[in-house]
A and B are shown apart, each in its own frame.
Chain A
Amino acid sequence: MQGSNVKNKNTANKVIAFILLIIPWITYLWINSYNKAEPPLFGLTFFYWYQTVWLAISAILFAVAAVLIYWSEKN
């Protein structure tokens, strides 16, 4: 029974990881949400700073996903 618990946990981890991985795609595909100049940040228009900030967010989401997927397997 313990074997199937481990397996379930791995599947759950992979589903969560998949969701985390897909979030940046949805963000960037939804171009109408960010293709505008307002509101600016330090004079930089929204279009540029929003997409740049999402690079940092993507890295965090991907790092969590990497742990979920690959730390349960043998290295």
Chain B
Amino acid sequence: MIGIAGWITFIVLFVIFTLLGFYGARWRKGDLTNLHEWALAGRRLGTFLAWFLIGADLYTAYTFVAVPSGMFASGALYFFAVPYVATAFMVAMVTMPRLWQWSREKGYVTAADMVQDRFSSRVLAGLIALTGIIAELPYIALQIIGMQAVLGIMLLGVTKNVSLITDIALTVSFIILAAFTFTSGLRGATLGAVLKDTLIFLAVIALIIVVPLRYGGFASAFTDAQNFASALAAKHITWLGTGITNLKSVASLEAGYTTLWMGSTFALFLYPHAINGSLSASGKRQLAMSNALLPIYGIGLALLSLLGLLVYSDSGAMQMLSNFPLSSRGIYSIPALALTSLPGWFAGIALLGIFIGGLVPAAIMAISQANLLTRNIIKPLYPNIKPETETRISKWASVIFKFIALGFVFLVPATYAIQLQLLGGIIILQTLPSVFLGLVTKKLHKYALIAGWAVGILSGIYLVELANRFGPLSTSLFPVGGYLLWIGLLALGFNLAIAVILSIPTLFKKQI
């Protein structure tokens, strides 16, 4: 149990977070009836703040929940998140500054704005926008699941009605979040991001020092994990099947590891929230430098994922986890470790960090979804709407998207939402030809891009279903000739091939 001191630090810091969120409206004041002021914080974030804000897109429940949980259950395969963050920011460094410059010159707020201009197709832009909106939904749901995990651990043994109280607390938090995002826009989220990441850094550093020292280091954690897996193997349950001390040295798994990080690398900066964060930078240099330095942020992610294995050496935390079913135990591993290995008041800080670590990204994601809806779906249908109306629609849409995601979590089991996020990554990657290739060429034909997109999406979904034998989703790797390949990259291959081949006739025609 977290104790009274823990509850006090948790609640006091949540109040500070809320105040910061509302204060955002006055910070670097701008006319918040302009969409770029509300949604891009007036494009005024320097290297330091852009680093925090874009970093906030990375340090989400994906980091605290999905990756450690994967390490906990499946093993070393999930360390793919480390090479992924190293190279994702290299991709950002070469793509985002150009998009930033065009968006400043031509007033773009979304990547779909750029696509519409480059390929003169509102249909293509609308499809790109729709893909972004749909891919973000399970991502927001994942944030909420991370917050649920924090509350679930905090309320364990305090009350019998854990799920009811959790739902109430989540709803209240989302009302507060929606209110300050509505009034402050991205400014509120940025200030929240600085607080959140400071707390998280503190917590990660404390945990990675305390846990190995207290429980006999990594070597004994690996042994404990092995014993846990062996005990389950006796009951014919596969556990930690991809390796503990390192990835199992088989070609099929190594191919899976490599294609997972490569594919995720190309996908990250296609997500609307990552693009939204990039466009809010104050200049190309600031944007490039903050991205260049973001792999440092990934060190925290590496440490967090290792905690997913270190938890095996902490018998107190393992005891706590045994209250939850085996399949969802992993998502509680970081909150449980915080509780058992830190003093109560510090555990409160760490848990609040993880809690708002879900809230801040959820706010940025909903803002970016709202921008896509107004700019690339509503505006093409009603071209005469005024800028103020556009902003008003965006503000309300950001509220609605948050509550759609919350409703989704209330209706769908947690493990299912995490699996849908896998699908989100595959889907968003299919916007690569239009967005990233659009940055270097406009020679691809709009209908070829649309056809490629459709083939990419359909083949991606079909292969996921096939790999999981049309049952519950548990893998996103597909076996091809003895190698496991990430389906997102396979589908992207089909997508690119169609987009390029169907563009050839028109290229040829123009040359004559």
Residues of A within 8 A of B (CB): 21, 24-25, 28-29, 31-32, 35-37, 40, 42-48, 51-52, 54-56, 58-59, 62-63, 65-67, 69-71, 73, 75
Interchain CB contact (< 8 A) of A56 among B247, B249, B289, B295:
B295
B79-92: CB near A (< 8 Å → 1, else 0) gives 10011011101100
Q: In the complex, what's the smallest C-beta–C-beta distance from B88 to chain A, in angstroms?
A: 11
Residues of A within 8 A of B258 (CB): 28-29, 31
Interface residues on B, range: 35 or more
Q: Which of B246, B284, B291 contacts A35 (CB 8 A)?
A: B246
Q: Could you say which residues of chain A place their CB within 8 Å of the CB of B217?
A: 42-43
Report if A66-B289 is in contact (Cβ < 8 Å); known contacts: A36-B246, A43-B217, A73-B284: yes
Residue of B nearest to A18 (CB): B94
A66 to B296: give the CA distance in the assembly, Å.
15
- Given the complex, which residues of A lie within 8 Å of B302, measured CB to CB? 48, 51-52, 55
4 pairs of A and B residues whose beta carbons are closest in the complex: A47-B246, A62-B292, A28-B83, A43-B218
**Contact A62:B249 (CB < 8 A) given known A24-B86, A44-B306, A70-B288:** no
Q: How far is the CA of A4 from the CA of B321 in the complex (A)?
A: 66
With A45-B222, A52-B82 as known contacts, state yes or no: A31 contacts B285, CB within 8 Å. Answer: no
Q: Mark B190-222, 1 if CB is under 8 A from A, else 0.
A: 000000000000000000000010000111001
A65 touches B245 (CB 8 A): no
Q: Does A52 lie within 8 Å of B292, measured CB to CB?
A: no
Q: Given B93, B257, B306, which contacts A62 in the complex, CB threshold below 8 Å?
A: B93
Kindly state the separation between the CA atoms of A45 and B212 in the bound complex, as whole angstroms. Answer: 14
CB distance from A72 to the nearest CB of B (A): 11
A67 to B286, CA, bound (A): 10
Are B218 and A58 touching (Cβ within 8 A)?
A: no
B76/A47 in contact, CB under 8 A = yes
- Hey, which chain A residues are within 8 Å of B219, CB to CB? 40, 43
Mostly helix, strand, loop or mixed at chain B's interface? helix
Taking each of A21, A31, A47, which has the highest tally of chain B beta carbons within 10 Å of its own beta carbon?
A: A31
Q: Which residues of B contact A51 (CB under 8 A)?
A: 79, 82-83, 302
Q: How many A-B residue pairs have CB under 8 A?
A: 114
Q: Given that A35-B247, A37-B245, A66-B93 are contacting pairs, would A48 and B79 also be in contact in the complex, using a CB cutoff of 8 Å? A: yes
Q: Please pick, from A25, A36, A48, A65, the residue contacting B292 in the complex, using a CB distance under 8 A.
A: A65
B296 touches A59 (CB 8 A): yes
The SS class assigned to the A binding surface is: helix
Q: How far is the CA of A55 from the CA of B306 in the complex (A)?
A: 15
Assess the A63–B246 pair: CB atoms within 8 A: no
Residue of B nearest to A62 (CB): B292
Q: CA separation between A45 and B295, bound complex, in Å?
A: 21
Whether, in the assembled complex, B378 has its beta carbon less than 8 Å from a beta carbon of chain A, the answer is no
Contacts of A67 in B (CB 8 A): 289
- B-side contacts of A25, CB under 8 Å: 87, 90
Closest to B81 in A: A51
Asked if A47 and B247 sit within 8 Å, CB to CB, the answer is yes
B125 CB to nearest A CB, Å = 28
Other contacts beyond A62-B292, A66-B289: 13, CB < 8 A: A32-B254, A37-B246, A42-B218, A44-B218, A44-B306, A47-B79, A47-B246, A48-B79, A51-B79, A56-B296, A56-B299, A62-B93, A62-B293
| Complex Cα gap A54–B306 (Å) | 16
A-B contact list, 24 entries, CB within 8 Å: A24-B86, A31-B258, A35-B246, A40-B218, A43-B212, A43-B217, A45-B245, A45-B246, A47-B245, A47-B246, A47-B247, A51-B83, A52-B82, A56-B296, A59-B295, A62-B90, A62-B93, A62-B292, A63-B292, A65-B93, A66-B288, A70-B97, A70-B289, A75-B284
**A24–B285 touching, CB < 8 Å:** no
Give the shortest distance, in Å, between B45 (CB) and chain A (any CB): 14
Name the contact of B218 in the complex, choosing from A21, A45, A65, A71 (C-beta under 8 A): A45
| B-chain residues with CB within 8 Å of residue A28 when the two chains form the complex | 83, 86-87, 258, 261
The reply to whether B89 and A62 contact each other, CB–CB distance below 8 Å, is: yes
Q: A28-B261, A62-B291 are in contact. Are A55 and B299 (CB under 8 A)?
A: yes
- A55–B299 Cα distance when bound, in Å, is 7
Q: How far is the CA of A52 from the CA of B376 in the complex (A)?
A: 40
What residues of B have a CB within 8 angstroms of the CB of A43 in the complex? Answer: 212, 217-219
With A21-B93, A21-B94, A29-B258 as contacts: A55 and B292 at CB distance below 8 Å: no
Tell me whether B283 is interfacial, beta carbon within 8 Å: yes
Q: Which residues of A contact B283 (CB under 8 A)?
A: 75
- State how many angstroms separate the Cβ of B217 from the closest Cβ of chain A: 4
Report whether A55 and B85 are in contact in the complex, using a CB–CB cutoff of 8 Å: yes
| The one of A21, A40, A58, A70 that contacts B285, using a Cβ cutoff of 8 Å | A70
Inter-chain contact B285/A71, CB cutoff 8 Å: yes
Which residue on B lies nearest to A37, using beta carbons? B245
**Contact yes or no, A31 B90, CB < 8 A:** no
- Chain B residue numbers with a CB within 8 Å of A62 are 89-90, 93, 291-293, 295
Question: Looking at B90, B292, B306, which has the most chain A CB atoms within 10 Å of its CB?
Answer: B292
Q: Which residues of B lie under 8 Å from residue A48 when comparing CB positions?
A: 79, 246, 302, 306
Taking CB atoms, residues of chain A closer than 8 Å to B55 are: none
B424 at the interface (CB under 8 A from A): no
Given A51-B82, A55-B296, A56-B295, also A69-B288 (CB < 8 A): yes
- Check A63/B293 contact, CB under 8 A, given A36-B246, A48-B306: yes
User: Which residue of chain B has its CB nearest to the CB of A23?
Assistant: B90
